[in-house]
């Protein structure tokens, strides 16, 4: 049973929210729904779908607007959400700043602090994702635990991801 001290910093918290938004924005429905929004705006402004589709100038303009909006969303939302999360949520909740001890057990992960303890079985986690700063362990689509990459060795992170996949019946 390995034990790792974990303390979440504001930078870890911000990186976690930025990573979460990057994952959300990679969903193929986001640009498709944005395309539908551009068509709806065009129709509401008195245009017709046939005019847009048959007029190269209007089609290029619509696609250009969509590309600009999508690009701005992808570039601005993750860092802004990370900054807001780190600035407002991390500062507002002192419990996020306390140090916890993470134990990697056969049955799952156990977290211990001076005030309390909690644990999750491997099957409690839905998925995991990682970038250069943090590893996120999703308990629900909107709720995740943050593991700073520097606090847990790469081999342990790989073991956690493998056990999580095995518990959820995924190869790997």
Three-class secondary structure of residue 153 per DSSP: coil
The mean pLDDT of 80-93, rounded to a whole number, is 76
Boundary (domain end) residue, out of 75, 94, 113: 94
Residues 85 and 151 in one domain: no
Between 155 and 95, the higher pLDDT residue? 155
Cα–Cα dist 105/160, whole Å:
10
**Is the alpha carbon torsion for 24, 27, 30, 31 positive or negative?**
positive
Mean pLDDT computed over every residue of the chain: 81
Boundary (domain end) residue, out of 72, 94, 116: 94
Domain with 85 in it: 12-94
* Res 172: pLDDT: 47
134 assigned to some structural domain: yes
The mean pLDDT of 52-74, rounded to a whole number, is 75
Q: pTM of the full predicted structure?
A: 0.70
Residues 71 and 113 in one domain: no
37 assigned to some structural domain: yes
Residues 113 and 87 in one domain: no
């Amino acid at each position: 049973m390995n034990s790792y001290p974990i303390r979440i910093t504001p930078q870890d918290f911000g990186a976690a929210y930025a990573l979460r938004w990057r994952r959300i924005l990679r969903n193929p429905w986001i640009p498709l729904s944005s395309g539908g929004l551009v068509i709806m705006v065009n129709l509401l402004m008195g245009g017709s779908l046939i005019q847009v589709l048959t007029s190269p100038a209007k089609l290029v303009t619509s696609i250009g607007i969509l590309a600009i909006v999508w690009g701005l969303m992808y570039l601005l939302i993750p860092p802004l959400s990370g900054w807001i999360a780190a600035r407002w949520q991390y500062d507002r909740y002192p419990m996020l700043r306390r140090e916890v001890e993470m134990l990697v057990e056969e049955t799952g992960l156990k977290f211990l602090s001076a005030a309390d303890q909690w644990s999750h079985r491997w099957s409690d986690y839905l998925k995991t994702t990682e970038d250069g700063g943090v590893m996120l362990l999703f308990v629900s689509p909107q709720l995740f635990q943050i593991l700073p990459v520097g606090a847990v060795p790469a081999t342990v992170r790989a073991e956690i991801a493998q056990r999580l996949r095995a518990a959820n019946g995924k190869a790997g």
